[in-house]
Amino acid sequence: MKEILKMLEHKEYKKLRQQLEIMKPADIAEILEDLSHKNALFLFRLLPKDLAVEVFSHMSPYDQAKLSELFNVEELQQLVKELNFDDKIDFLEELPAQLVKRILKNAQVQERTLINQFLNYPEYSAGSLMTIEFVDLKKEMTAQEAIEHISKTGFKKETIYTCYVIDAYRKLEGIVSLKNIILAEENEKIENLMERDFISITTTEDQEEIAEIFKKYDLLAIPVVDLENRLVGIITVDDIIDTIEEENTEDFHKMAGLKPSKREYMDSSVLSLTKHRLPWLMILMITATFTGAIIKSFEEVISKVAALAVFIPMLMDNGGNAGSQSSTLVIRSMALGEVAPKDILKVIWKEFRVSLIVGLSLAILNFLRILLFENYPIAISLIVSVTIFITIILAEVIGGTLPILAKILKLDPAIMASPMLSTILDALVLFTYFSISKAILHL
């Protein structure tokens, strides 16, 4: 970065261009994202056309949109024309509708129709992720004819390592790897080389389910078909890796009580960050009134035995922590496909057994600590210890169950992680604590 800025400052443009030409496109994209808009635009225009297209495809959607605001329409039209089809769709999705219309105004009718079709697919579906840049073959071809066809048409394809065998109506009949074609006899028919038992998905498949399929079957690419089994596109592993990263980021945001955002932290304005945090905080603040109501209803108990108030933070923290551990494990296991909604009873039974051991251990430890080191009466030690035991059981069972219930109700399981879970457990912990206190102290 220092070298680039120095060359820009001293107007060593020839040297700068030579330096950029030997760099990786992803590294140049990272530099552009850190430069001022003026310098980023100048540097981008300095790049050779092919390299500029590669660099642009490596930039984040937000930075692509920001940089594109500095281009004139002719530059945008030329850039869109050179982008790979899936990168083209991703870029156009981030632009205002009016600008998209201006960019596509001079595009060929067939391409414009196809782009509009892709832009109309649901945001998180296979249709929005796929590309039409794949190699298709006919089963009547020989291995030699297939190699010649790949040589002629494969230059701008997303991948040539897997080829797709279609009939005259574009119905998918099989898939064949480039390795098998190259190693086969020249006159061997593709029909004899292709796999008929293949995995495909439809255009409406959700991206989370697609990611699971890639993981389960170790795929490099997967064909996308319509309802009549006609091949309409493919999704490659590099696209699904980006999707997995987006899904994980979204889950982290929801687990922290944040509204998910696609923008990077440093690119987000203060107002934007505020808008993503405030709604959940307001909801949690309102739900926390239940906790206050419980404390108020047991005000008489606290006034008679003030020592009980000392242990409220510790009990609430233990409940929240235990619940978070349980929910985090279950949410992650669900994301990896290790736990399904049908396993809810198994999860409850497992978490109950774990909570018995954990709860009993913490209860004994706290009983001895409060009695021996803090010199409270046996009754107080017993109340706190019994509460901890019951709290851990409630927290771990509820923490493991709520994400599964959310999935059953078609909600995102991540919303059931803390702080939502902590708010629910706080109310339960306090009610349990004061109810046990009344029973043991006969208040």
Cα–Cα dist 339/80, whole Å:
42
Per-residue confidence (pLDDT) for residue 152, from 0 to 100: 92
Six token digits for residue 405? 């219930």
Burial class (CB in 10 A: 0-12, 13-18, 19+), 304: exposed
Neighbours of 319 (CB within 10 A): 31
CB of 396 closer than 8 Å to CB of 325: yes
Q: Please report, as a single letter, which amino acid is at residue 400.
A: G
Q: What is the side-by-side order of every strand in the sheet holding 136-137?
A: 136-137, 162-166, 172-177
CB of 164 closer than 8 Å to CB of 150: no
Cα–Cα dist 319/384, whole Å:
13
CB of 329 closer than 8 Å to CB of 398: no
Give the ranges where 47-189 is alpha helix by DSSP (H).
Answer: 49-58, 61-68, 73-82, 85-93, 97-104, 109-119, 126-129, 143-153, 178-183
- Domains delineated in the chain: 2-120 (1.25.60.10), 136-243 (3.10.580.10), 288-441 (1.10.357.20)
Q: Please report, as a single letter, which amino acid is at residue 220.
A: L
Per-residue confidence (pLDDT) for residue 259, from 0 to 100: 65
CB of 385 closer than 8 Å to CB of 419: no
Q: Is the pTM of this model over 0.85?
A: no
CB of 164 closer than 8 Å to CB of 231: yes
DSSP 8-state secondary structure symbol assigned to residue 308: G
CA distances (Å), origin 58, targets 87, 157, 363: 9, 17, 54
Cα–Cα dist 403/396, whole Å:
12
H or E, element range at 96: none
H or E, element range at 361: helix 344-368
Per-residue confidence (pLDDT) for residue 261, from 0 to 100: 66
Per-residue confidence (pLDDT) for residue 151, from 0 to 100: 93
Q: Which residues of 105-119 are buried (b: 16+ CB within 10 A; e: fewer)?
A: eeeeeeeeebbeebe
Burial class (CB in 10 A: 0-12, 13-18, 19+), 338: exposed
Six token digits for residue 429? 């912990």
The vertex-124 CA angle with 250 and 343, nearest 5°, equals 65
| 100 φ, ψ (degrees, to nearest 5) | -60, -40
Cα–Cα dist 428/423, whole Å:
9
Per-residue confidence (pLDDT) for residue 334, from 0 to 100: 85
Per-residue confidence (pLDDT) for residue 417, from 0 to 100: 67
Six token digits for residue 37? 């808009």
Residues with pLDDT less than 50, the chain: none
Six token digits for residue 438? 């009344």
DSSP 8-state secondary structure symbol assigned to residue 307: G
CA distances (Å), origin 311, targets 214, 299, 306, 316, 433: 49, 15, 10, 9, 10
